[in-house]
A and B are shown apart, each in its own frame.
Chain A
Amino acid sequence: MTSLRHLPEAEFELALAGIGRSIEFPELPDLSGLVGRAVAHAPDRARVPRRWLGPVIRPVWQPAWQRVAVALVAMVVVLSGALAISPGARHAVAGWLGLRGVKIVQVPSPTPLPTGLGTNLMLGSPVPFAQAQADVGFQILVPAALGPLDEVYFSGRFVDGKVTLLYRARAGLPEAETTGVGLLLTEFRAGIDQEHLEKMLGPGTTIESVTVNGEQGFWIAGAPHIELLFDMNGEIVPDSLRLAGNVLLWERGDLTLRIESALSKEQAIAIAESVG
Chain B
Amino acid sequence: MGGRPLEDSELVELARQGDVSAYEELVRRYQDLAARTAYVITGGAADAQDAVQEGFVKAYLSLGRFRAGAPFRPWLLRIVANEAINRRRAARRHMNLALRAAEGRLTGDAVPSPEGAALAQEEQAELLSAMAGLRPEDRLVIAYRYWFDLSEAEMADALGCAQGTVKSRLSRAIGRLRAALPERGLN
Q: Which A residues are within 8 Å of any B CB, using their own CB? A: 1-6, 12-28, 30-36, 38-40, 42, 44, 76, 82, 85-89, 91-93, 120, 122, 226, 228, 230, 234-236, 238, 241
Contacts and interface: CB of A to CB of B under 8 A. Distances in A.
Given A25-B36, A39-B20, A87-B46, 11 more contacts: A3-B185, A4-B119, A5-B182, A12-B174, A15-B119, A16-B147, A31-B56, A33-B24, A85-B49, A120-B92, A241-B50
Contact of B86 (A32, A87, A238): A238
A42 B57 contact: yes
B115 interface: yes
Interface string B53-94: 110111011100000000000000000000000110011100
B166 interface: no
Contacts of B114: 18
A36 to B, nearest CB: 4
Contacts of A33: 24
A4 B127 contact: yes
A28 B126 CA distance: 27
Contacts of A20: 143, 146-147
B123 A4 contact: yes
A42 B64 CA distance: 13
B159 interface: no
B156 interface: no
A3 B186 contact: yes
Contact of B45 (A15, A18, A21, A85): A85
Given A3-B182, A22-B124, A34-B53, A235 B119 contact: no
A88 B185 CA distance: 38
B134 interface: no
A1 B187 contact: yes
Contacts of A44: 18
A22 B106 contact: yes
Contacts of B143: 20
Nearest to A42: B61
B135 interface: no
Contacts of B142: 16
Contact of B124 (A19, A88, A234): A19
Nearest to A86: B46
A23 B20 contact: no
A226 B52 CA distance: 14
Nearest to B124: A19
Contacts of B179: 5
Contacts of B21: 36
A18 B181 contact: no
A25 B44 CA distance: 9
A23 B99 contact: yes
Contacts of A89: 46-47, 49-50
B10 interface: no
Contact of B119 (A18, A27, A35): A18
Contact of A26 (B28, B39, B183): B39
B115 A17 contact: yes
B51 to A, nearest CB: 9
B1 interface: no
Contacts of B99: 23
Contacts of B36: 25
Nearest to A233: B61
17 contacts: A1-B187, A3-B186, A4-B181, A18-B112, A18-B113, A18-B115, A19-B101, A19-B115, A22-B106, A24-B100, A25-B35, A32-B24, A35-B60, A39-B23, A86-B49, A92-B87, A120-B90
Nearest to B38: A26
A197 B47 CA distance: 24
Contact of B31 (A14, A16, A32, A93): A32
A213 B3 CA distance: 59
Interface string B105-134: 110000011111111000110111001000
Contacts of B101: 19, 22-24
Contact of B183 (A5, A17, A241): A5
Chain B CB within 10 Å, residue with most, of A3, A16, A26: A26
